[in-house]
Amino acid sequence: MSRVRSISGRGRTRRKKKSFEIDITSLLDILVILLVFLIKNYNASGIVLNVPKGIELPTSKSQSLNTSGIIVQVSPNTIWVDDKIILEAQKDTLAEDRTGRRIIPLFNELVKKKEVIKQIEKSSPNAKKFSGVVNLVVDKTIKYSYVKKLMYTAAAAGFGKYKFVVMTEE
């Protein structure tokens, strides 16, 4: 029995499109792995703390994190204040005062920061008040004699609380 098709019917059947399918199984595998990894490392505190290259933090059992205030990062060769380099080559004797206890560029930068915060505090009632907290992000190989200078300089600049930033033991 012969099939009889109308002329209009023939055209429709021939132009019928095949659905375009992409196998996204492997892509989903990747996304799931990525998602699990990112969720595991998600920090809900919203605090961004930059640890510059050259600083290896000491490990600690501490579980508290409430970082606010100025961040001073110290590697064996460089000092940053809020990610801005203020001193390179730590053994620069010109950077210290006569007593050798205070690091002058650090002191000047901290005083500047303090003044800025206090000016904002005066001009805006809703602004954060000066907390006097300094976060010390210090490389673990640095000796106490230098940490002592950092602490003394911060205290002299009007920062009365130190927070030693450490890495949690796994």
Residues that bind other proteins in the complex, under the rule CB under 8 A: 14, 17-18, 20-23, 26-27, 29-30, 33-34, 37, 41, 49, 51, 57-67, 101, 135, 138-145, 147-148, 151-152, 154-155, 159-168, 170
What SS3 state is found at 122?
Answer: helix
Q: How far is the CB of 152 from other proteins (least distance, A)?
A: 5
Q: How far is the CB of 117 from other proteins (least distance, A)?
A: 18
What is the CA angle 170-166-56, rounded to 5? 90
Q: How far is the CB of 158 from other proteins (least distance, A)?
A: 10
51 vs 121 by CB, closer to other proteins: 51
CB-based contact 113:105 (threshold 8 Å):
no
What is the CA angle 27-31-36, rounded to 5? 150
Q: How far is the CB of 128 from other proteins (least distance, A)?
A: 18
29 vs 88 by CB, closer to other proteins: 29
Count CB-CB contacts under 10 A for residue 118.
Answer: 14
125 vs 144 by CB, closer to other proteins: 144
Q: How far is the CB of 46 from other proteins (least distance, A)?
A: 13
Phi, psi of 125 (to 5 degrees): -70, -25
The sign of the dihedral angle between the CA atoms of 71, 82, 101, 160 is negative
38 vs 125 by CB, closer to other proteins: 38
